[in-house]
Amino acid sequence: MGKVHHDNRESKEKKNEFSLVRVKGTWKCKLEKQICKDTADCVSAAKIYESSTEKGTTWTVVSPIIFTYKVTETWGLLDPSNDTLLLGHITDPQELEDIKKSNKPIKRFVVIDQEVCKIYGAKLTEYLEANNVLYKILALPTTEENKSMEMALKILDDVNNFSLDRRTEPIIAIGGGVCLDIVGLAASLYRRRTPYIRVPTTLLSYIDASVGAKTGVNFANCKNKLGAYIPPAAAFLDLSFIQTVPRRHISNGLAEMLKMALMKHIGLFELLEKHGTMLLDMKFQADNSVYGRSSLKAASQATRIAIMTMLEELAPNLWEDDLNRLVDFGHLISPALEMKVLPSLLHGEAVNIDMCYMLYVSQESGLLTEEEKQRIISCMVGLELPVWHEACTMELIERSLEDRLKHSGGLVRMPLPVGLGQAEIFNNTSYEILRRAYKKWCEELSVSSDGNNCDT
């Protein structure tokens, strides 16, 4: 039988790197040496890499996506003389000037949480009419229980009937984090991406949902399982909305603020430790009583630091390409806990219970001293946040961490404090440490020391 001869020589590969050059309104592939600066209108940041062999050709497209969005703190957002809500998202001075000179009326579609609408609906209508805006206001019950694709489609149906310009007429979302998330997803779906504006009316959404790129709805009994990373054109923050928020919801927002303090900023932690009760009492407003102007100073400092530290973590990782994220602290177990007991726990409350358990994990791992742990727990209690919950069983914790492994590239990527205002990501926390931490957490903080939930 004759031998089969194999040709071990690799087939010759031909490679080209093309830039994209716009010449007289059309784009063309050009090698670097072919680009004539005098005739090119524009050279794109995108590249096309062509690789050819005798087997075929492969084109690899590298197209950088750059999002620019504003996060603006302002006062009197619904004051008719303040045009921030209508024009504050525009970054091009010429475009802004042209709009102001134009006789064409501004057109806006507004989605507002129905409870917020009861308080601010009349003022919003007055604002829009005073500025001669063609508008549609859609008030919806944007609660965690109905944070669904059905509600997003309801919004889209009304948007479609209103006929927005998908490039120049942003949808405005006014409400808490649920409202901002749903509207953001709806906007990202309509005509593949319609700009939208976030106006948070709760403390939680003020320093969390409003400043990032995440949108989403709940699906298959999982929190935010459907969504997209599409940042708003702008987020407009006005602390005066917080004055009508119930005290429990102020505390709820302080949990996310505390998260950033524990992960990144001891100064913020000390501010919350010292002024937390005042911030709860004053609802982040200026006051003429015993606290005086110091309440507003503490409020503005706390929100500024929380937003800045959040943006530090989000801006370079907007699409979560890097799964090692300090902002996930308090979010490894809380999603399952929150959905399990819905609606009895608010988001920030569930996050704080998660964070409190993780303090014990950190202390059992030798990363946090007993004194630091107790100091943080005292701060949590001072902020009127829950530190334990009977539904947060060891079984739920294990299942949550197993889920984490599936969706985080096979690593648990557990953010843990390693001191006050300092944190690191860990992947090797043993099962034994998790169980010891759980047992100690239950023994020290459970409302019932003989409850079955403390069994290990």
CA distance 454 to 438: 8
Known catalytic membership, residue 214: yes
SS3 429: coil
Contacts of 380 (CB under 8 A, 6+ apart): 258, 352, 355, 356, 387
Alpha helices of 316-382 — where are they, by DSSP H? 334-341, 347-364, 370-382
Q: What is the Cβ-side half-sphere exposure of residue 222, based on CA atoms within 13 angstroms?
A: 8
Q: Which among 55, 101, 214, 439 is annotated as catalytic?
A: 214
Contacts of 32 (CB under 8 A, 6+ apart): 17, 19
Take residue 141 and report the two structure tokens written for it. 């019950």
Question: For residues 216 and 228, is the Cβ–Cβ distance under 8 A?
Answer: yes
CA distance 249 to 446: 23
CA distance 176 to 148: 15
**Pairing assessment for the beta strands 26-30 and 14-23 based on DSSP bridges:** antiparallel
Question: For residues 53 and 13, is the Cβ–Cβ distance under 8 A?
Answer: yes
End-to-end CA separation in angstroms for the chain: 70
Q: Which of 252, 246, 299, 250 is nearest to 119 (CA)?
A: 246
CA distance 155 to 412: 36
CA distance 25 to 9: 45
User: What positions carry a catalytic annotation?
Assistant: 214
